[in-house]
Structure formats: structure tokens, C-alpha cells
Structure 1
Amino acid sequence: MSSYHNIQSLNSQHFKPAHIIQSDEEALQIAQLLSEKFKENAVQRDVQRILPFDEIQEFSQSGLWAITVPKQYGGADVSSLTVAKVIALFSGADGSIGQIPQNHFYALEILRNNGSEQQKKKLYTEVLTGARFGNALAEFKTKTAAHKQTALSKTERGYFINGEKFYCTGSLFAHRIPTLVRDEQNREFLAFVPRESQGLDIIDTWSGFGQKVTGSGTVKFNNVFVLEDDIVPFDISFSQPTLVGPFAQIMHAAIETGIARAALEETLIRVRQARPWIDSGVEDAADDPLTIYEIGHIATDVRATEVLLKQAAQSIDAAKPQPTDENIAKASLDVAKVRAHSTETALKASSKLIELAGSRGSQRHDGLDRFWRNARVHTLHDAARWKYYFIGHFELNGVRPPRRGTL
């Protein structure tokens, strides 16, 4: 695998002024048009693993990457439902592209909750100009996912970061890499590290069979200097009631909802185009009763997921003005419900697409398998079974879910 420096450099890129989106309606209109454009070459990108540098540049310049910036800083501050719909649209067109801004929006939510006024002005301004944030959160060499070894050290010269991260989705396309670090007092921070920082190396190590062009490589830090101004507290995101967890998870649910909806729509196209089914005794696949049954089942599941997504988004937005233990727990549970359901629905809808398309569904150049591969890889992000556990624990015993990034 090659270093990011050998793939494409963004260091010298001068931002053109990005478009400033003013409303939810405008955001959805732009997302609809742009996602349709990105759909055109989605199969080619997947088959040949062509990293979507041009598409991501156009995506962020459209203004869609700044839609969660609060109005007092110049953004549209759109609803959580609009964010979810935008991600679903792009995920339906290309599962990888739909996932890439997820960590960007997650970092902005950390900033909104925990950043200082000075940090917000600085980083929101960058995003409104067109800057993209990636992520360096997960670690591979620790005993559990909760343990982190990447260290933030204070010296006479300032702060330095040393460590290694993996599954750094979107890092290949980013201008800053928000990095989860731990200091000498065992406190956690999110450091917004500039891409051009000396000692920072992004390596294209991602080789998943799905979500192939998300840029989820490895990031290494070797005495990387970071300004105190670029370090935001992280651990307080969960020591107090915030929407950081539910907001992170509804975006994951939106990715799967978008894949499921696109798989259903592709299934309808393929079934209508199918040759007569000799074995079934009907002249048209669209008249086959078993096919009609399967379509009805999938359509119901997809619609149910979309309804759950809307309900979860409304719970997030209801809690946003004044988060409490109670309304954050409700938002977390509502998001857990859609996330569990979207996992199952995306896998089922994408699998049925291949089945109902018949032998043509296995043709590589058609790319029908990408829906299932993208869904299968993305749904491994965190287990749906734990969503059901916390939902059941609340329903049965009245126990609120813990506050964490996976709920």
C-alpha cells in the first residue's frame, strides 16, 4: 500500500469559496442533484477502486459539508433529519461517498458541544470555506476498543502527538484529521491536526471488500506538533448529557437506509426488465406471485426503516435546545431502534436484489453486488445485537442506555 503523499496531495490546494447553503430545502435540492451525478460512475469506482477525490471536492464545495454549522457562525444549522436524508441520498448513489462526511459531521458535533468560542469561530470558518475533516479515532493494537494509546504530551515547545490509528475513514480526502488522544492525566481530547503537519503520515491500507473507496486508511503520528487552540475536550461528551452519541449513530443508520432504498429501487428495475421465468409458468417476472411477495416484504421493511429514521431525527432535534438525561436517553434509544432495523434491512434488501435479478445479478460489470458488499462491511461498524440489548433493557427494566459513541 502506498502513502497518501504518493496518491494525491491536498496540501497545496487553495480553497475556493464554497457555496453557502441557507436552508434545509436548499441542502436537499443540492444533495438530490449531486448524488444523481455521483451515481453515474459508482460501479466503475467500485470495481477499479478509484478514489473519489474529484467527487469529494465537488461535494464539499457544494456547501453540504457545512450544513451543521450553527447560524450564529454563518451556517444553515439544518435539522438532523436533513443531515440524515443527505447522507442517505449519497449512500444510495455510492455507499462509500455517503459515509465519507460522517466523521466530519461527528467532529463538528464535538466542537459544537465542547469547543471554546475561539475554536468554534476558527474551525467553523474553515468549514464554511470548504475545509474537510477526516478522523483518526480507532486503534488496532489495544486490548479493547475503549483503550487508547495515542498520547498527547506537553513540552516546553508545546503539544506533541505520538501514536497510530486505523479505520480512519475520510482521512485521505481531509484537510484536518481530528484525532482522539489521551494526555498524562488520562483525559481524552480531540485534536484537529492540520493535514500538512510534519510527522503525520496517512497510508492507504484499506482493503475491505465493500465500502472500497472511503479512504479508511492508517494514520501515524511521529512527534506531530499541535496548537493548544486546536485541542478540544472529548471525554466530557459522555460524562454529561449530549447528543454526540445519537448524532453519530443516526448518520450510520442513514448510510444503511440509503443503501436499502437504492437496492429496492434497483430491484424493481431489474425485475421489470427480466426475461419470462420459464420455471414459474408465468410470462413476466413482474407477474410471478413469489416475486411480488418478496418485493412487498422488502418495500415494507425499507419504509419502516425510513419512518424510524425520521422519528429518531425528531428525538435528536427535540433534545438539542436543552439536553437532559431523559431526552438524551430517548434519542439514544430511538436511534438504536433505527440503527438495528437499518442493519437488517440493508442486508436483506441488497441480498434480495441479487436473488431476484437472477443470473444477471452475478455479473461483475453490473455491480449489483456492491449494495450487499457495502451494507455488509458498513454494518460491521458496531453490532446491532447491542442495540437490541439496550432497547430491551429499557423496555423491560426501565434502565437507560449508557452515554457512548455507539448509542
Structure 2
Amino acid sequence: MTLSHHVAVITSDEQALIVASDLAEDFRRDSAQRDRERRLPLPELDVFSRSGLWGISVPREYGGAGVSNVTLAKVTALIAQADASLGQIPQNHFYALEVLRVNGSQEQKKRLYAEVLDGQRFGNALAELGTKTAHDRVTQLTRDGDGFRITGRKFYSTGAIYAQRIPTSVVDENGIQQLAFVPRDSEGLTVIDDWSGFGQRTTGSGSVVFDNVWVAAGDVLPFQSAFERPTTVGPLAQILHAAIDTGIARAAFEDALHFVRTKTRPWIDSGSDKATEDPLTLKSFGHLSIRLHATEALLERSGEFLDRAQADSTAETVAAASIAVAEVRALSTEISLAAGSVLFELAGSQATLAEHGLDRHWRNARVHTLHDPVRWKYHAVGNYYLNDENPPLRGTI
């Protein structure tokens, strides 16, 4: 499964940020049109893959840059600011690489990391519809000779339609969850482009069907055990979600600034000749900017906590990282929704015209922030500080 095109190898945090900034300029150009037409970003993903950014979390000992989580979050926010769907598509790719880092064998790490550095994209087939809770899984893994067979159906499979491998959560014959890195071209595997969400429209977050799909034993990793001991798998997933929302918020804020500066007329009661001089508009922009800057600062802070937890994963360091990430998840949820909505209050009726595509920011934020409820972030943070209660060891809190 080697890609034919040349793939760059990024070697430092600084290089990763420069490459992400350059790509973001290109991705921003047609992002509104892609959203409006629901045009899957296949050419953009090819450029994205060849840039080397999908390999920046591969540890240095396996040939990657091993960038900090501060940098990984900033890269994600930069891409999400340009195009929120493109920012989300690699989220589960990096999540799968973290599961590989904490639970994979040396052989699995060497082989799968090499694929990533060669430009392979990993999607996901984790969530399922119709189970008792959003975390329950029923997709079965059964032994078949020197490998396994997978049968089941997944949804919210962000990135699967674009991937060369689809990491899939499965339940083995002992009721234990495993993660199978299934090749996209496996017989019996069907990816269905049936995602109809009103936001994040080009993430490809639809269905994956497994009809007795064979997978090699070497492509199956322990999964459940990553949440039975202190690991950074959960907060790593969460910081990426926070970064996506932070990028959406920044995009909405910047578009609001541009629109008010160039198109918006002042309200008659303001006594101002320009919308940029309206005192109530100034107050609203001040309120948005302070919360946005606070979110960006918390995103960086949570990356530092996560770096420490990765270097030394104990109950204390992982809990501290999870809480730091929960704090920025709470704030990034609120500012992304606020920025996407207040944009129209400040910019005025012209901003609602479809040709501007400014509604995509709120739609993207509203859909993506439903990933897990912000009210439970506040609960976890309050319980941690008031009662010294560590958050649960799972992918969401």
C-alpha cells in the first residue's frame, strides 16, 4: 500500500508550523465553496498528505518529528481555521497513532509508523448507532486461522473514505475491545458516503460496513487496556477536538473583523460614520477577542500538561492533563459557537447572503462540539478541584 508520490518528512516543531501555515493559506481559498457544494477535498488531502504533516506525531526513534502536543494542537487549529473539515479529518489518524504508541508492539510500531511516513492516512471506524450508550460497541472480532474476521457496522467514521487503513474498534470473543488497523481495500469492507450533517460537511463521517472482513493478527492492537491504566490516549483525542473548535472560532472572528471593516454600515443610533466606530460593536469585539485569546492560551497550556503526561504517565499526570484539556474543551466549545453567531449580529444582514458562506462557521462549530457534552467538562473540572476526584480513564470526559 505504498503511495506513488513523494512525501516530505518534517523534522522539527518549527518546520511543522511553517508548513501548516503555508497549507492553511491554500486551503482557505475554496473552503466556503467546498462546504456549499459538499465537494470532498480529495486534491487538498493529497497535498496535505504529501506535506508530511500527517507524520509529525511519529516518535523520533521511528523516523518522525515527534512534535510536542503544543505544536500538534497549533497545527490542527491552523488547518481547522482554514477549513474545519480538513482540520478534523486527521483527528482520528493522530488518535490511532497514540493508541499505537502506548499499546503497539515494536513490530507494529515500526511497520505502521513507516506507512504513515510514506503518506498513508488512517481513518476510523469507532462509533456505532443503536447501542445503549455512545461508548458501547458490538462489532465482532472472531478468530479465523492466523487472523481474524470482523462483522459489524460503524457510523461517524470521519476520514474513512479518504484512508488507506481504517482503525476499527471491535469486541473479541472474550468481550474485550481491540483496535484493528484494517486495510481500506479489504474484501467485504464497504465505505458509504452517507454523512448528511449540516456542518463539517466534507469530513466523510458516514458509514463503514464489515461483512466478514479478514484482518491479519499483526494488524490488531489492544485497545481497551489503554483505558484501564493511566495513558494519554483520552486527553490526546480531546486536545485535537479543542484545537479544531479553536480554529473554527478564530476563522469566524477574523471573518467578522473583515466584514465589519469592509461592508457593514453603522447603526443609526450609534452616532458613528463607520461601523468600526460603533461603541457597542467595539464592546462586542472586545468580548469575543478576550475569550478567543483565553482559549488559545488554554490550548497551549493543555498541550504542555499533555507533554508532561506522555513523558511520565501516572494517575496524577494523566488526570492533570485530562483536566487541562477539559478546561480548553469547555471554553473552545463556547467561543466557537459564540463567534459563529455574534458574527452576524455585528456584520449585519448582508453577512447572511449565501455567497459569503459565513454560516458555515456556526454550523461547523455546532456539529463538531456535539462530540461530547460541554456540561460534563465543567462537572469533571469542578469535581477535580473541589473533591480531588480524578476524571474517568476514557476518551471523553
Are 1:28 and 1:85, in contact at CA under 8 Å, matched by a contact in 2? yes
What is the identity, as a one-letter code, of the residue corresponding to 1:289?
P
CA deviations over 1:310-362 (Å, ceiling 9, x no partner): 11000000111111000100000000000011000100011111221101111
Q: From 347, 365, 371, give the equivalent of 1:357.
A: 347
Structure 1 residue 279, shift from structure 2 partner: 4.1
* Residue number in structure 2 paired with 1:213: 202
Residue 91 (str. 1) matches residue 80 (str. 2): yes
What is the identity, as a one-letter code, of the residue corresponding to 2:104?
G
Q: How does 1:297-308 map to 2 (within 5 A)?
A: 297-308=287-298
Are 2:193 and 2:207, in contact at CA under 8 Å, matched by a contact in 1? yes
How many residue pairs get aligned? The number is 396
Q: From 313, 325, 328, give the equivalent of 2:318.
A: 328
Residue 141 (str. 1) matches residue 126 (str. 2): no
CA distance in 2, matches of 1:15, 1:402: 43
Are 1:16 and 1:129, in contact at CA under 8 Å, matched by a contact in 2? no
* Residue number in structure 1 paired with 2:66: 77
Q: From 303, 325, 340, give the equivalent of 1:313.
A: 303
SS at match of 1:328: helix
* Residue number in structure 2 paired with 1:33: 22
CA distance in 2, matches of 1:304, 1:261: 12
CA distance in 2, matches of 1:141, 1:348: 32
SS at match of 2:136: coil
* Residue number in structure 2 paired with 1:382: 372
Structure 1 residue 121, shift from structure 2 partner: 0.6
Q: Work out the percentage of aligned pairs sharing the same amino acid.
A: 56
CA deviations over 1:45-77 (Å, ceiling 9, x no partner): 010100001101110110000000000110000
Q: Normalization by structure 1: what TM-score?
A: 0.96
* Residue number in structure 2 paired with 1:102: 91
What is the identity, as a one-letter code, of the residue corresponding to 1:350?
G
Q: How does 1:192-203 map to 2 (within 5 A)?
A: 192-203=181-192
Structure 1 residue 157, shift from structure 2 partner: 5.8
* Residue number in structure 1 paired with 2:216: 227
SS at match of 2:155: strand
CA deviations over 1:357-390 (Å, ceiling 9, x no partner): 1011110110111111000100101000001001
CA distance in 1, matches of 2:158, 2:349: 34
Residue 131 (str. 1) matches residue 115 (str. 2): no
Unaligned runs of 5+ in 2: none
Structure 1 residue 142, shift from structure 2 partner: 1.2
Residue 250 (str. 1) matches residue 250 (str. 2): no
What is the identity, as a one-letter code, of the residue corresponding to 1:342?
S
Structure 1 residue 14, shift from structure 2 partner: 3.5
Residue 282 (str. 1) matches residue 272 (str. 2): yes
CA distance in 2, matches of 1:380, 1:164: 21
Q: Normalization by structure 2: what TM-score?
A: 0.98
* Residue number in structure 1 paired with 2:392: 402
Residue 68 (str. 1) matches residue 37 (str. 2): no
CA distance in 2, matches of 1:346, 1:157: 48
Residue 261 (str. 1) matches residue 246 (str. 2): no
Residue 343 (str. 1) matches residue 333 (str. 2): yes
Q: From 15, 18, 29, give the equivalent of 2:7.
A: 18
CA deviations over 1:284-309 (Å, ceiling 9, x no partner): 00110000000000000000001111
Are 1:18 and 1:129, in contact at CA under 8 Å, matched by a contact in 2? yes
What is the identity, as a one-letter code, of the residue corresponding to 2:268?
I
SS at match of 2:85: helix
CA distance in 2, matches of 1:354, 1:15: 45
SS at match of 2:44: helix
Q: From 4, 25, 44, give the equivalent of 1:55.
A: 44
What is the identity, as a one-letter code, of the residue corresponding to 1:59?
F
Are 1:337 and 1:387, in contact at CA under 8 Å, matched by a contact in 2? yes
Are 2:77 and 2:245, in contact at CA under 8 Å, matched by a contact in 1? yes
Structure 1 residue 217, shift from structure 2 partner: 1.1
SS at match of 2:371: coil
CA distance in 2, matches of 1:378, 1:283: 38
Structure 1 residue 277, shift from structure 2 partner: 3.1
What is the identity, as a one-letter code, of the residue corresponding to 2:182?
V
